[in-house]
Amino acid sequence: MKSLIDILDFTVEEIDELLVVANDIIADPKKYSEMCKGKKLATLFFEPSTRTRLSFEAAMYELGGNVLGFSEAASSSSAKGESVADTAKMISCYADIIAMRHPKEGAPLVAAMNASIPVINAGDGGHNHPTQTLTDLLTINREKGRFDNLKIGFCGDLKFGRTVHSLINAMSRYEGNKVYLVSPTELKLPDYVKKDVLDKKNIEYIETQSLDEVMPELDILYMTRVQRERFFNEEEYLRLKDRYILVPEKLTNAKEDLIIMHPLPRVNEISVKVDEDKRACYFRQALYGKYIRMALILKLLKEAGTI
Amino acid sequence: MNIDSIKDGFVIDHITAGRGMRIYELLELDKIDCPVAIIMNAGSKKMGKKDIIKVDGNVPLNLEVIGYADPKVTVNIIKDSKLCEKLTIPMPETLTNVIFCKNPRCITSVEQELEHIFKLTDRDENVYRCIYCETKASL
């Protein structure tokens, strides 16, 4: 049973195929409006999320399907002590596909090992968030038209930012990209990502604490939020949360065709004044998230023989 | 126990110096009641120094554990005081319930009945990672 737990579960060809379908959905949404008629998506969200859950639900509704599920652990049987494995087996009786978010790393993999229907990892703690990566890839595909020879700046929390790790992993499979890692020392990209991904694939990268210094070179600026929920120590969170705040003045030396991405939600790391800049594409990015999830649901249900 | 002569048992030889005790722990040799000898920092022409474990008794031997802990070792199986087999141990692709994930954010930290499974992700560097959270195993 094909599931999506890690972005590396999909080959470059499979990702290309998803992008083609997503672009076709954008061009002609009506063609897809009944493709999942009578099918059910279970959204099992053991951790709060607005964007990811709603984009999955919107995706399924726009494919003509239905949605069931829960949006916090307190309203599920896990509050009574049910295991992830049992939840997955039980939901397999009621739905055709699962989208799961869980605060513990590896929970969606446990679900996929026990479910008889496809499982999509909708975020497992600070570990993986492959549909955000697919969203990011569709955004780059539509806004830049290519995945190679790009100068990509990642700014903010590069330590706990799972979207950053996954996107670096995905972009490392394409030629000629250069990565700029902008973060305070405490939130640097973990060594294992540098060693296992960037070094192993000979990706050129530089680490710096200054966003201003690298801004003129960037084709893509990927901003991230410093996530309160990833810190065991509140004081450290408060000390680091406002380190990088993107305001219009900081974009003076940036390229005209730069794109500014952010997985959202933002707190204050991007000023609302930047929203008016045509280079800000984070709300379009959120929209693309729905289309790529539609393409993903279709792919997994087709491979499962459900549609 | 005369550590030079074993009737029925095995000798784990060419253990990287300093790893003998860890292999002893991983093989749970403290739980068996036959004679066991650990020789540490023995001289070796090939390795300079090495550790050796000798077990005189028919006890089950988990070769996977040895392959994980030190793939350079050789295991000599002794029967009727004679060397009957000399084994080199390949690194296992997967380890199940041999080592345990210590990441407090891993699903295994809250679901007690889950098997702890580690996969070999880098053969050159002898790296095993938890299949759930990808945390690197430390020997």
Asked if B105 and A104 count as a contact pair (C-beta separation under 8 A), the reply is yes
Nearest to B107 among A106, A126, A192 (CB): A106
- Position B4 in a domain: no
Q: Are residues B53 and B77 in the same domain?
A: yes
pLDDT band with cut points at 50, 70 and 90 for residue B1: very low
Q: Are residues B63 and B125 in the same domain?
A: no
DSSP chain A: ---BSSGGGS-HHHHHHHHHHHHHHHH-GGGGTTTTTT-EEEEEESS--SHHHHHHHHHHHHTT-EEEEESSGGGSGGGGT--HHHHHHHHTTT-SEEEEEESSBTHHHHHHHH-SS-EEEEEETTS--HHHHHHHHHHHHHHHS-SSS-EEEEES--SS-HHHHHHHHHHTTSTT-EEEEE--GGGPPPHHHIIIIIITTT-EEEEES-HHHHGGG-SEEEE----GGG-S-HHHHHHHTTS--B-GGGGTTS-TT-EEE--S--SSSB-GGGGGSTTB-HHHHHHHHHHHHHHHHHHHHHHTT--
Q: Are residues B15 and B82 in the same domain?
A: yes
Partner-chain contact A104 B105, CB within 8 Å: yes
Q: Are residues B68 and B101 in the same domain?
A: no
Nearest to A106 among B106, B113, B122 (CB): B106
Q: Are residues B81 and B104 in the same domain?
A: no
Query: In chain A, what percentage of residues exceed pLDDT 70?
Result: 99
Q: Give the mutation candidate from B118, B132, B135 for the A interface (greatest A CB count, under 10 A).
A: B132
Q: Are residues B40 and B99 in the same domain?
A: no
Model pLDDT for residues B64-117, shown as the tens digit of each residue: 899 999 999 999 999 999 999 999 999 999 999 999 999 999 999 999 899 999
Q: Are residues B41 and B104 in the same domain?
A: no
> Which of these ranges, A264-268, B3-7, B81-85, has the smallest mean pLDDT?
B3-7
| Residue B3 confidence (pLDDT) | 58
Number of folded domains in chain B? 2
Tell me the mean pLDDT in the region A218-243. Answer: 85
| Residue A227 confidence (pLDDT) | 80
Every domain of chain A and the residues it spans:
7-130+287-303, 131-286
Q: Are residues B67 and B50 in the same domain?
A: yes
> Which of these ranges, A136-145, A220-229, A298-307, B78-87, has the smallest mean pLDDT?
A220-229
| Residue A135 confidence (pLDDT) | 98
Q: Does domain A7-130+287-303 have CATH number 3.40.228.10?
A: no
Architecture of domain A131-286 in CATH? Answer: 3-Layer(aba) Sandwich (3.40)
Does the pLDDT value for residue A80 go beyond 80? Answer: no
Q: Are residues B99 and B56 in the same domain?
A: no
Q: Are residues B28 and B57 in the same domain?
A: yes
User: Which residues of chain B have a CB within 8 Å of the CB of A104?
Assistant: 105-107, 109-110
| Residue A162 confidence (pLDDT) | 79
Q: Judging by beta carbons within 10 Å of its beta carbon (0-12, 13-18, 19+), is residue B57 exposed, middle or buried?
A: middle
Nearest to B131 among A83, A109, A192 (CB): A109
- Position B137 in a domain: no
- Position B45 in a domain: yes
- Position B105 in a domain: yes
Model pLDDT for residues B12-60, shown as the tens digit of each residue: 999 999 999 999 999 999 999 999 999 999 999 989 999 999 999 988 8
- Position B67 in a domain: yes
User: Which residues of chain A have a CB within 8 Å of the CB of B138?
Assistant: none
- Position B125 in a domain: yes
Range of the domain at B104: 94-130
- Position B65 in a domain: yes
Q: Are residues B114 and B47 in the same domain?
A: no
The ipTM value here is 0.89
- Position B25 in a domain: yes
